[in-house]
Structure 1
Amino acid sequence: MLHHLLTFPLPATWQTLDRSGRSRRVCADRLSPLPLSLPLSLPHLRDAIRGRIRRQVYATVHGDGLDFGRYDRPDGDPGLFGPDSMVWLVHGDMPGMFTGGIAALLLQSLHPLAMAGVDQHSDYRERPIDRLNGTAGFVTVTSYGGAAEAEAAIARVRRIHEHVRGTAPDGRPYDAGDPELLRWVHVAETCCFLAGYQRYAPRPLSRSEQDRYFDEVARTAERLGATDVPHSLAEVHAYLREVRPQLALTEAASAAVDFLRAPGTFVSDPGSAAAMRILVDGGIDLLPDWARAQLRLPTRSVLGVTAVRAAVRALAAVLRYGCEPSDVITTARARALRPASTAVRTSPPDPG
């Protein structure tokens, strides 16, 4: 996934965890097609590297689905949240969203009915990158797109949910449009996104800002049909305590966890696989202890935790170097701040 990201000077080696939880060293020269001594002081080389990182990340995360027209119009439209929102801040932090997204997939798998729907109706095993692109596109357009684009994306998902129904292996019926299942998926996702931001962003949110984030992002879940959505950090914690007796590691969940942790799930070349291994380890590290135990993930040692977080921070530096400021956010901010009567449209920045 991230092979071509790693063209920025990094430590010669770092530590991460193998699938059994043991610490192992990764050589940076496996991750970089360019010499680590590359003279980044040369402006044209620096720009070329940034462009290469940006193109690779955007192609992997969004595929061919990143249409900047969804973000640069209409003038004066803040979308569902707007530039000063906590949603724009949290969802704009790429390292936090990568690790938080992995954590969210793992946590969501613990709900037997939600996992049954995924297992019986999703082709994530055959087309994992397409599923990644679809999820990333939905989160991006509902966060930063104009209001009409965001509402259209939500309407499309609701139509898809109408066909995701069935019977779980334990005999219980499920329906993707069930407000309770939608609440679970939303809370599991957003609490992991915030956990990633709090761990890896330059400045973690205050308690009041975390409350603002959950209050804002609840709008998306409620538009999707979720009910009784938590609007604060305290309400999220209370909900997770309440729902825990309903969670279990089913056969489908165990298979999904193994799939996510398998080398080469999203990528095939060794360098990209090593980078993805770092992100997966970082996502596992974000999970609460009870979720890791229920998912039967390896127990972390102090050394292992330190190694994982150091590796993610090193990779985060590469992501920030190549992808900030975000083209999507730059385009969306310009749209939101232009007077509504202005007809001029801006083009997205050239990624290099």
Structure 2
Amino acid sequence: MFIGKQSRDFLIETASPAAVLSGVEVAQPASGLRCPYVLEISLWQDAITRQQQFCTQLESLHGDSVPSKVQLDDQKALIRLDNVQGGSHSIYVMEGDDVVSRAFRETNHWEKREVAAVVEQLITVADRKGVSRSEVVFIDIGANLGTFTMAAAAAGFKVYAFEPMETNIAAIRHSICANKQFLNNVALIETGLGNEFQTCGLYSGDANVGDGFVNCDPSFRIDAEVHAKRNISKRQDLIVRRLDDLLGSSVMDSLKARVAVLKIDVEGFEPLVFEGAKKFLDVVHPEFLMTEVNVDNPIKVKQYMEYMSRWYDVHEEAFTGPILDLSTLQYPAQGGRRFAVNIFNLYLAAKSI
């Protein structure tokens, strides 16, 4: 399948790659609008409808079978892997040397321990509340190829997946079609999240294409020197929105007491996402939260965790592990804590739990 150009298999007349990936024409925000795209209570159904339309188009091309390979453009392709993550479902990954995709191809897993921890916690919450898994919600911010999203859906939970990168969106959409039992369980929201409405650039490393990071500085450029030093490239522009504006009061009220776990991995943009989600944290208040941190800058991590400590206790290693002493997060030169790895996940539990 080619984006924005004709192939023997597929042709959509469209002005933007995002429209091809979603299968529908997506209205772009008009200049000067304060914050468009507030979908209120239709957010879930809107996303489900877009996915259904995409799968219908895919079926019209391939029948009941799902393609083993999807050509996105002249250089990028997706391939389908079956029986991943313990044999529970299929997933599309990149054909090239992307870190996450390579791990799936070689081991059928990515972040196996972390995925298991999230699913286990979702099950624990459903059992404690005595409700069906379909009544419990998982939110995946920075869904990447859908590793956590697909695992949670395979376990029977509802999922809101937020992902702005077009290649990742294509992978998730095809993965949902390959697992038809997930069709009404996953709402894919194609947007970036942050602390204000703005247009930013999305970048990623050439060896880990799907793991994008956001830079909103309009003066930031990837010249030959920067590319040679950091091996990163710009992938696309994207709209960044505040989660509080995107969801609105109606959606937040509908999600209250239903979100068991939120996972966020947005390559250092996490604090800005939650700056734009204060009302969400107050009203929806997910019971558990898993966030990636990078202690190359432990002062920023400390500030981030101190901000989140208004709502959560911060644990190491597991949702029920030891509570982290934030005072130990200092620069090594100051005698602060040294972790075995620089990038890892912290597990947060709501103070009311």
TM-score bucket (shorter structure): under 0.3
Report the TM-score, using the length of structure 1 for normalisation.
0.26
Greater fraction helix: 1
Higher RCO (Cα < 8 Å, 6 or more apart): 1
Greater fraction strand: 2
